[in-house]
Structure 1
């Protein structure tokens, strides 16, 4: 028969062995969790941080130029403390950080989400401004597709009309003018293409669109001169004369006007405005009028 002390010693040893084995199993399980791509223990630990701590850490990261880390902090506030005051602020800051990092789609999406949740908030104008800036920074050269210009125009128009007293209106107006000039420039490019191919009706339609829809852009001066050329080529002398007259009234010292005047003279014509023409009506809205 086995001695009771031996039995007791072996029993205690067995229990210790089980305890050690159990701890090893726990450790192994935790290690497995940490290696599992779907479970991040460090993220879980951070989730206990208060919203204000995360938010202020994000601000500190921004000031230090650590934009990626700042973005993570602001996103953490939004995810871990949704609909809190700090989440609202963090959403705007996250949009700004994405914009600064040229992550324009993310900036637009975040700012748009903010606007859908808090359309009348004090930072709503800024969020809308970020949307405009993000589209504006994607405007390509005039020879390429100008959808970003059109979207920037829509976004900045929203800033100006919906938040007329905001500090972002003046810059929005300036960038709006540039974006509109890009759209007008694209129309001019297409018009010149048609004109070179002697498709004068198509060309004239493009130039007319510039004069009527983009009267306060730099493209109007050339558009009027091109109208003189295309109408002249089609034998529409009255329209050509009217275009030249409106061009001369608004840009009397322009080389475009000098060239248009010279062209009319080759047929013994001169600038003469027909008040019944669409060009005369559109001329009233031009920059130089």
Structure 2
């Protein structure tokens, strides 16, 4: 017990010392940056980006953007700031910087990049790294960010069809459609468990009508067949079964 009592002040002193050094280091950093010109700050930020230190790059670019908002480097600074925030995982800051860039520079040659990065940011906000690593299926989570990402990519495709980002945006839109279709199927299955067969059938039909190229069509048709059977709607069940047989003859629902 004595040794623990003796160590406690030592550890506390070390913690205070480290905190003091950190605070002192931050102040020194700010002082150094305060004496730098626009080009020096930008070069410093680019060096941070080149070595993958996007958090430091964002800090420098943010300071540069605040001090020289209308300088000759302002547009490029904002574009690099968007990317640095994105790579740092700061989605709110990324979206705010994107929206400001688009609002102030609607005719800029790189505005398509801003829309593309907006889509990427919203799309990534819908993912969960831990769940992905653990292979946890959470298709029932709120897809609002995916819907917003789809709208961002759609706007890019509509306004800038020849953009160099258009091809990748198109692929991502297909992925998002499949994500949204899987969400609808998850909700339909929830309704099935609650014996809300009308709601379940409507969700299945929604998938077929709005996401016909998704991987969830078979499941949507199977849900419709099962729901209509429970509701005693023989004609609708027959139509759904006919479509299921035609497109997915290997389905277990086909007797």
Task: Output the TM-score relative to the length of structure 1.
Answer: 0.70
1:50 pairs with one of 24, 27, 37:
37
Question: 1:41, 1:233 → 2: CA distance?
Answer: 72
**Structure 2: runs of 5 or more not aligned:** 1-26, 128-137
Contact 1:207 1:227 in 2 (8 A): yes
Residue 132 in structure 1 maps to residue 113 in structure 2: no
Contact 1:71 1:98 in 2 (8 A): yes
Please state how far the C-alpha of 1:41 moved relative to its aligned partner: 8.8
1:144 pairs with one of 141, 146, 160:
141
SS in 2 for 1:166: coil
1:180 pairs with one of 177, 180, 184:
177
Question: 1:61, 1:198 → 2: CA distance?
Answer: 57
Please state how far the C-alpha of 1:156 moved relative to its aligned partner: 1.3
Question: 2:59, 2:158 → 1: CA distance?
Answer: 33
Please state how far the C-alpha of 1:247 moved relative to its aligned partner: 2.5
Please state how far the C-alpha of 1:68 moved relative to its aligned partner: 2.0
Please state how far the C-alpha of 1:142 moved relative to its aligned partner: 0.9
SS in 1 for 2:125: coil
**Structure 1: runs of 5 or more not aligned:** 1-39, 263-289
Corresponding residue number in structure 2 for 1:260: 253
Corresponding residue number in structure 2 for 1:206: 203
Please state how far the C-alpha of 1:222 moved relative to its aligned partner: 1.0
Contact 1:78 1:87 in 2 (8 A): yes
Question: 1:67, 1:219 → 2: CA distance?
Answer: 38
Corresponding residue number in structure 2 for 1:110: 97
Q: CA RMSD in A?
A: 2.1
